[in-house]
């Protein structure tokens, strides 16, 4: 639908650029996906090697090609990969709904890069993918993530109890959502 000749579109903002994820990004993404300050909020085990990171990138790229999910690498102002973001899941028929996910190198938190990156993701979701509702699921103590989605206009809708299985057991998440009619 949004892929032309197998090419994932690049989205360009003023400071960040969202690019198709490739194994060339493995080293930078490994630093982020193995960082305990990042993985604790995602409820996933930290990655333990570059090889494992390459396998995950290959899996995510395959899912993007099949239009089951869509995750970009975030390229910062210096041309380096500083994080990733996109849709963990989305569907049109019967719902027109997607769920965003994101992670940023902790050294760059508090500079507004993710707000800009997610702005591009939301624009693409509403205007190119045709979504009507975009959700974000956050760990209930993840204040940074909650602040981030609220500044983008998401409304908190409630708590989904024991929604995720994580290495430390079943975990609640807070559900936030933004509707097409509420976006800009
Ligand atoms: C969630 C996460 C991406 C948020 O990162 P962040 O740095 O807080 O978010 P942003 O990049 O949008 O930065 C926003 C902050 O930059 C500040 N800022 C500075 N310059 C800015 C600018 N030019 N534009 C916008 N904001 C700017 C904002 O005031 C805000 O500050 P605050 O933290 O004091 O409120 C990050 O904490 C992360 O990777 N966490 C681990 C993974 C995770 O939790 N993912 C989300 C799952 S739901």
| Per-residue model confidence as pLDDT tens digits over 56-105 | 999 999 999 999 999 999 999 999 999 999 999 999 999 999 999 999 99
DSSP run (H or E) holding 163 = strand 155-166
By alpha-carbon position, which residue is closest to atom 37 of ligand 1? 144
Nearest ligand 1 atom, CA 136: 48
Domains and CATH numbers, the chain: 11-135 (3.40.630.30)
DSSP codes, 13-54? -SS-EEEE--GGGHHHHHHHHT-HHHHHHHTSPPP--HHHHH
- The CB density around residue 1, as the number of other CB atoms within 10 Å, is 8
Ligand 1 site residues, Cβ closer than 6 angstroms? 38, 41-42, 102-104, 109-115, 136, 138, 142, 144-145, 147-148
pLDDT digits (tens, 9 = 90+) for 93-141: 999 999 999 999 999 999 999 999 999 999 999 999 999 999 999 999 9
114, 166, 157, 107: which is closest to 133 by C-alpha? 157
3-state secondary structure of 7: strand
Nearest ligand 1 atom, CA 144: 8
Identify the DSSP state of 5.
T
Q: Is the pTM of this model over 0.85?
A: yes
């Amino acid at each position: 639908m949004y892929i032309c000749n197998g090419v994932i579109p690049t989205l360009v903002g003023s400071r960040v650029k969202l690019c198709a994820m490739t194994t060339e990004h493995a080293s930078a993404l490994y630093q982020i996906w193995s960082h305990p300050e990042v993985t604790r909020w995602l409820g996933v085990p930290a990655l333990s090697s570059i090889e494992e990171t390459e396998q995950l990138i290959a899996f995510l790229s395959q899912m993007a090609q099949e239009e089951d999910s869509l995750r970009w690498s975030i390229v910062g102002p210096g041309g380096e990969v500083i994080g990733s973001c996109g849709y963990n899941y989305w569907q049109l028929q019967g719902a027109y709904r997607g769920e965003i996910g994101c992670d940023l190198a902790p050294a760059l938190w508090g500079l507004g890069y993710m707000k800009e990156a997610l702005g591009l993701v939301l624009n693409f979701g509403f205007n190119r993918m045709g979504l009507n509702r975009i959700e974000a699921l956050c760990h209930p103590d993840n204040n940074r993530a909650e602040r981030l989605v609220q500044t983008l206009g998401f409304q908190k809708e409630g708590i989904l109890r024991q929604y995720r299985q994580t290495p430390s057991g079943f975990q609640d998440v807070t559900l936030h959502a933004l509707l097409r009619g509420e976006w800009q």
